[in-house]
């Protein structure tokens, strides 16, 4: 997934139309699946949002943008960049995944510069800020998308300090967190996911499965039944003999 950089940087000053040009260049579902299959060895799931498909916060009706390079070039030209635009991406290591993304973007007209950093430098960027796009991978760790969003990317978060979520979306986040009706809360959560999708604030590529080593006698643990990694079901878990 790629997050925007410093709000004062050039990348964050792109209007939605320009970010949409990048979005239209994202992979169509078949290509996402091909990338996931080729790079993930069965452990990657093509996705167009932060919540993985098995998470209760997943918005199943979120549309996917078509693979449409011509549309992407058209939007960039309309936004004032007929000859393309430079794009800086920070990533941990240079792997096949990021090279594929670079190729897809450059096919449209983006001049992509990759900055490969080690783990320590990556977290320094997360806490201190960055310019351009940051390739990150976070477990949502919750079945409550608005709560996770505010924790990782909210105005009081100590990480991802270069990400700014529009105020009108943050107002919906607060409303969702105060909503006691689970049906209404889920509807608000879906609306937030759609708003962020339309804003092109991130470009998800896939969700990945996390491995757990459990003793064969552990039954009905509920691990990964609710969220990515941090929840289980002690009320149903039992030990076989």
Please count the residues of the chain. 241
pTM: 0.78
The pLDDT score that the predictor gives to residue 30 is 57
pLDDT digits (tens, 9 = 90+) for 133-183: 999 877 776 789 999 999 999 999 999 999 989 999 999 999 999 999 999
pLDDT tens per residue, range 47-98:
888 888 888 899 999 988 777 888 888 888 998 988 888 999 999 987 888 8
Q: 207-213 long-range CB contacts below 8 Å, 24 or more apart?
A: 207/44, 207/45, 207/47, 207/52, 207/53, 208/40, 208/43, 208/44, 208/45, 208/137, 209/43, 209/44, 209/45, 210/139, 211/43
- The C-alpha angle 74, 60, 198, rounded to 5 degrees, equals 30
Of 34-43, 170-179, 207-216, the one with minimum mean pLDDT is 34-43
């Amino acid at each position: 997934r790629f997050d925007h950089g410093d709000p004062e940087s050039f990348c964050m000053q792109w209007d939605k139309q320009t970010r949409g040009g990048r979005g239209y260049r994202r992979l169509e579902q078949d290509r996402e699946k091909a990338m996931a299959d080729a790079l993930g060895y069965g452990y990657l799931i093509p996705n167009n949002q932060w919540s993985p498909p098995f998470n209760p916060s997943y918005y199943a009706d979120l549309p996917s943008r078509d693979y449409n390079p011509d549309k992407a070039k058209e939007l960039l030209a309309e936004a004032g960049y007929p000859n393309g635009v430079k794009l800086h991406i920070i990533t941990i290591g240079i792997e096949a995944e990021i090279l594929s993304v670079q190729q897809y973007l450059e096919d449209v007209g983006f001049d992509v510069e990759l900055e490969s950093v080690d783990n320590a430098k990556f977290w320094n960027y997360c806490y201190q800020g960055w310019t351009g796009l940051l390739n990150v991978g976070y477990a949502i760790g919750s079945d409550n998308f608005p709560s996770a969003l505010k924790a990782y990317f909210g105005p009081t978060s100590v990480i991802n300090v270069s990400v700014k979520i529009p105020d009108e979306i943050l107002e919906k986040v607060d409303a969702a967190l105060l909503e006691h009706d689970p049906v209404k809360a889920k509807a608000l959560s879906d609306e937030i996911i759609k708003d962020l999708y339309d804003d092109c604030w991130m470009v998800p590529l896939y969700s990945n499965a996390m491995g757990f080593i459990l003793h064969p006698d552990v039954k009905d643990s509920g691990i990964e039944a609710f969220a990515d990694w941090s929840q289980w079901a002690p009320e149903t878990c039992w030990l076989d003999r």
